[in-house]
Amino acid sequence: MFLTSPNKILGLDISDLSLKAVQIRRKMGGNYIQAFNSINLPPGIIEEGVIKDAEKVARLMRQLIQKSANKFTTRYAAISLPETKTFIKVIDIAHTDTQTDKVRDLISKELPRHMPLEMSEVQVDWQEIGNDHKYRKFLVAAVPRVIAEEYIKLCGLAQLEVVALEIEAQAITRAILPLAAEGNQRAWWNKLPWQKTKEATNNNKKDEGAKIILDLGATRTSIILLDKGIIQFANSIANISGEKITRTIMERKNLSYTKAEKAKLICGSDAKKCKGVIRDIMIEVIDELVKEIINTINFYQDHFSGQTKDLEIILCGGGSNMNRLDEILGKKLQRKILIANPLANISGELPRKIGNLYAYTTAIGLALKNMA
Ligand SMILES: Nc1ncnc2c1ncn2[C@@H]1O[C@H](COP(=O)(O)OP(=O)(O)OP(=O)(O)O)[C@@H](O)[C@H]1O
Ligand SMILES: [Mg+2]
């Protein structure tokens, strides 16, 4: 939801263990990355999305913006709120009802059935995403007011003004699917013939059909189910995460955190490296992930009557850098696995080399808010 609409914003992804910011510059109808930066947070200052030490986080946020190699030139920020604390839901409203009642009233009546909060406790945003002969379909996003206020206050401490609040699944989807999927017109610049080569290489171009986006983060994995480019639901799984893999390596190999993290990145899923020990741990986690994906697909078939025969899976987040993850998942699930392109809606070169592009997916999606 947009609170005000300035013409320059930065996307700010606030996670338990990292802050990432991206600013996009619009030129001749194209979106160019002007600045990006990330910073690790020490454990404990944000825990499961709850801000424990606002002063410290705000100080690091200032550093993130001021010490960036390329300049951020706005104090207006679009932020996402912790996945576990937000709700996103498709609500069907009968045409006959919308003739008599206002959509807002109908959503207010229906939404409390799908979340453990009262309407007075949440900020709500919605968009109409389709209709059939009987129902109008609305994608409704709800954010608890207390959480929203806490994050706005935190950004205020860092002299940033929050102008948009979003559910992370919305930001991720915006980054990796062509912007037209949001109902926006693609810029005329992107329709020019010489832009075709870039479009052809964009492996996420086809936005029809069911898809699962997996955001493999440090502290959790998010599963977002999309159909026809529209989010149907999103879930966060706390026990599948990059941190969990690192901590398991620490315990089993009796290593420090830093060494375990290094072993994870170097040996990964390669059976020939580190005597295959790291690979075995990774496979255990991948097997859990496979179970969750199968459950999600079954849930979508049973509760949404969704078509899942050709469902494809798109990987993003830092964990998608894991060596051969796409190949292993593809074999286990017998489905098409794609690695997301977080630059699907970005033109031109990056201002400098980016270390871990997939980890910037959310920040890029936030920075793209309101860019056609
Ligand atoms: N090559 C790699 N192999 C395996 N894991 C990797 C690799 N590169 C990065 N990671 C892992 O990705 C994770 C960081 O991803 P990301 O930056 O998306 O998380 P985050 O946004 O900070 O966390 P969250 O989204 O859970 O709040 C770390 O656990 C890191 O170890
Ligand atoms: Mg993340």
282 close to ligand 1 (CB < 6 Angstrom): no
Residue nearest to atom 27 of ligand 1 (CA): 15
Residues 136, 265: one domain? no
Q: Supply the pLDDT for residue 132.
A: 84
Residues 255, 347: one domain? no
Q: Is residue 207 part of a domain?
A: no
Please choose, from the candidates 233, 194, 7, 15, the residue with its C-alpha nearest in 3D space to the C-alpha of residue 114: 233
State which of 216, 315, 316 you would mutate to test the pocket of ligand 1, scoring each by most atoms of that ligand within 8 A of its C-beta: 216
Q: Which two tokens stand for residue 193?
A: 């013939």
How far apart CA 237 and CA 92 sit, in angstroms, is 27
225 close to ligand 1 (CB < 6 Angstrom): no
Domain at 360, CATH number: 3.30.420.40
Q: Supply the pLDDT for residue 77.
A: 97
Q: Is residue 162 part of a domain?
A: yes
Residue nearest to atom 6 of ligand 1 (CA): 319
DSSP 216-228: E-SS-EEEEEEET
Residues 134, 159: one domain? no
Under 8 Å CB-to-CB from 169, ≥6 apart: which residues?
Answer: 83, 88, 213, 222, 224, 231, 234
Please choose, from the candidates 173, 115, 175, 180, the residue with its C-alpha nearest in 3D space to the C-alpha of residue 141: 115
Q: Supply the pLDDT for residue 33.
A: 96
Residues 120, 71: one domain? no
Q: Supply the pLDDT for residue 372.
A: 57
Q: Do 79 and 165 contact (CB within 8 A), yes or no?
A: yes
Give pLDDT tens digits for 190-210.
333 333 333 333 444 456 799
244 close to ligand 1 (CB < 6 Angstrom): no
Q: Do 236 and 222 contact (CB within 8 A), yes or no?
A: yes
264 close to ligand 1 (CB < 6 Angstrom): yes
Residues of the chain with pLDDT under 70: 1-5, 180-207, 372
89 close to ligand 1 (CB < 6 Angstrom): no
Residue nearest to atom 24 of ligand 1 (CA): 217
How far apart CA 203 and CA 273 sit, in angstroms, is 30
342 close to ligand 1 (CB < 6 Angstrom): no
How far apart CA 73 and CA 365 sit, in angstroms, is 18
Residues 237, 306: one domain? yes
How far apart CA 346 and CA 301 sit, in angstroms, is 34
Q: Do 340 and 204 contact (CB within 8 A), yes or no?
A: yes
> HSE of 330 in the Cβ direction (CA atoms, 13 Å)?
10
Taking the centre of ligand 1 as the mean of its atom positions, its distance from the CA of residue 168, in whole angstroms, is: 16
Residues 95, 242: one domain? no
144 close to ligand 1 (CB < 6 Angstrom): no
18 close to ligand 1 (CB < 6 Angstrom): yes
Q: Do 225 and 296 contact (CB within 8 A), yes or no?
A: yes
Taking the centre of ligand 2 as the mean of its atom positions, its distance from the CA of residue 18, in whole angstroms, is: 8
Residues 260, 320: one domain? yes
State which of 46, 221, 321, 339 you would mutate to test the pocket of ligand 1, scoring each by most atoms of that ligand within 8 A of its C-beta: 321
How far apart CA 73 and CA 367 sit, in angstroms, is 13
Strands of the sheet containing 76-81, edge to edge, are 30-40, 18-27, 10-14, 76-81, 161-167
SS3 call for 295 = helix
Please choose, from the candidates 335, 10, 275, 312, the residue with its C-alpha nearest in 3D space to the C-alpha of residue 161: 10
**CA 295: distance to chain centroid?**
20
Q: Supply the pLDDT for residue 208.
A: 79
State which of 13, 14, 18 you would mutate to test the pocket of ligand 1, scoring each by most atoms of that ligand within 8 A of its C-beta: 18
How far apart CA 60 and CA 81 sit, in angstroms, is 18
Q: Supply the pLDDT for residue 1.
A: 59
320 close to ligand 1 (CB < 6 Angstrom): no
Residue nearest to atom 15 of ligand 1 (CA): 318
Element (H, E) at 164: strand 161-167
Taking the centre of ligand 1 as the mean of its atom positions, its distance from the CA of residue 253, in whole angstroms, is: 20
Residues 285, 244: one domain? yes
Residue type, 39: I
Please choose, from the candidates 67, 56, 65, 111, the residue with its C-alpha nearest in 3D space to the C-alpha of residue 86: 111
DSSP state of 243: H
Q: Is residue 202 part of a domain?
A: no
Domain at 138, CATH number: 3.30.1490.300
Q: Is residue 1 part of a domain?
A: no
For residue 171, give the ligand nearest its CA. Answer: 2
Q: Is residue 326 part of a domain?
A: yes
Q: How many domains does the chain have?
A: 3
Which residue range forms the structural domain that includes residue 279? 221-339
Give pLDDT tens digits for 168-180.
999 999 999 987 5
How far apart CA 324 and CA 22 sit, in angstroms, is 28
How far apart CA 262 and CA 160 sit, in angstroms, is 34
Q: Which atom of ligand 1 is nearest to the CA of 282?
A: 4
